[in-house]
Amino acid sequence: MSAPLRLGTRRSALAMTQSQMVADAVSAASGRDVELVPIVSEGDVNRASLSQLGGRGVFANGLREALAADRCDFLVHSLKDLPTLQPDGLVIAATPAREDARDVVVTRDGAPLGALPPGSRVGTGSPRRIAQALRHNPRLDIHDIRGNVDSRLARVRDGELDAVILAAAGISRLGGDLGGLHAEELGLAEWPTAPGQGSLAVETRTDIDPEILAALAQLDDEHTRVAVTAERTVLSALDAGCSAPVGTHAAIADGDLRLRAIVYALDGSHRIGIDRTVRLDTGYAREPGSGNDADAADDGGSITRAARVGREAARRLLERGAADLVPRESTT
């Protein structure tokens, strides 16, 4: 009988829940048992704010070290926390179908973010969410917070905060119970989220048993991989860290890959945005009012085209002054 496969995961309730979902799917695909191997990451013990931690892979490095040392066979990451530079010897074997990519504002009474009164205390540790919240309502009192979903919700329920901003996917994967609180779902057109938000990444070693790699690959969702490739390419081409004030969202509709990317000033006072569309079956890319974009034509596959449209979006954002708004990172 084959030994169980070992899945490395962070220890938080959300990470364990996500990982168990993947473990069950891999077990069904491989016919082998899968056991979770909890691993402590730097981000779990370092209580500095996300803006200080930057894009150094603090939620991924410890897991990747365990994988490289053969303490586990594969990993499950929240893709939005994963640096865009892929380490030698490791490969993203699958990106399962994406959950809801939106952010939600959670309050006690259901008041929308834009209607919260001056001085309302809103908790988030994300520079992007801070910038977006202040742009929607400059009168807010933003509190830089860390912690798991339950602890953040408790701070609203107990009256310490008036609202928190969270990922819809995390709430959904934990069962969706807000304990009597109310959620305002934020539309992706005006509130694009972190590149890869709502998506998971299944990572393994390049030298793993081909049968294991094939089992992991069965979890891959092509539409998700194409969309997150475009989003993460924007972040990489901007040379911005995972916590930079950059919101992106890409989706496939009627054979088109549609990408929206916005870079924000940290105080929300200014933003630079762009929309790009690429026709996946022909490589024909266009932007409203721009006519044909010959430089976006691509003879490669959908992933190659997604990366190209991401690079093109980043180039145009930089031409419009995005470099003045984005803290640069050399280790994304």
Amino acid identity of residue 40, one-letter, is V
If one counts the domains in the chain, the total is 3
Q: Which pLDDT belongs to residue 42? A: 58
| Mean pLDDT, residues 89-110 taken together | 97
299 has pLDDT over 70? no
198 has pLDDT over 70? yes
Q: Which residues of 13-25 are buried (b: 16+ CB within 10 A; e: fewer)?
A: ebbbebbbebbeb
CA–CA gap between residue 158 and residue 152 (Å, rounded): 10
User: What's this model's pTM, rounded to 2 decimal places?
Assistant: 0.88
Q: CATH number, domain at 42?
A: 3.40.190.10
Same domain for 319 and 239: yes
**pLDDT tens digit sequence for 43-61:** 555 455 555 545 556 679 9
Q: Which domain holds residue 318?
A: 226-324
* 191, part of any domain: no
Same domain for 204 and 59: yes
**pLDDT tens digit sequence for 232-242:** 999 999 987 76
307 has pLDDT over 80? yes
* 289, part of any domain: yes
| Mean pLDDT, residues 29-55 taken together | 72
Tokens of 117: 């009164």
Q: Which pLDDT belongs to residue 281? A: 72
CA–CA gap between residue 134 and residue 131 (Å, rounded): 5
331 has pLDDT over 80? no
327 has pLDDT over 80? no
Residue 122: CA count within 13 A, CB half-sphere: 30
147 has pLDDT over 90? no
* 192, part of any domain: no
Same domain for 127 and 77: no
* Mean pLDDT lowest among 55-64, 66-75, 84-93: 55-64
Same domain for 311 and 273: yes
Q: Which pLDDT belongs to residue 300? A: 59
* 329, part of any domain: no
| Mean pLDDT, residues 303-326 taken together | 94
Q: Which pLDDT belongs to residue 45? A: 52
Query: Mean pLDDT, the chain, as a whole number?
Result: 89
* 190, part of any domain: no
Q: Which pLDDT belongs to residue 126? A: 93
Q: Which pLDDT belongs to residue 296? A: 35
194 has pLDDT over 70? yes
- pLDDT interval class at 250 (50, 70, 90): very high
23 has pLDDT over 80? yes
* 14, part of any domain: yes
Of all residues in the chain, what percent carry a pLDDT higher than 90?
78
299 is catalytic: no
Q: CATH number, domain at 267?
A: 3.30.160.40
Residue tagged active-site, from 24, 70, 73, 81: 81
* 330, part of any domain: no
Closest to 238 (Cα-Cα) out of 197, 186, 202, 274: 274
| Mean pLDDT, residues 200-207 taken together | 97
Q: Which pLDDT belongs to residue 280? A: 87
- pLDDT interval class at 146 (50, 70, 90): confident
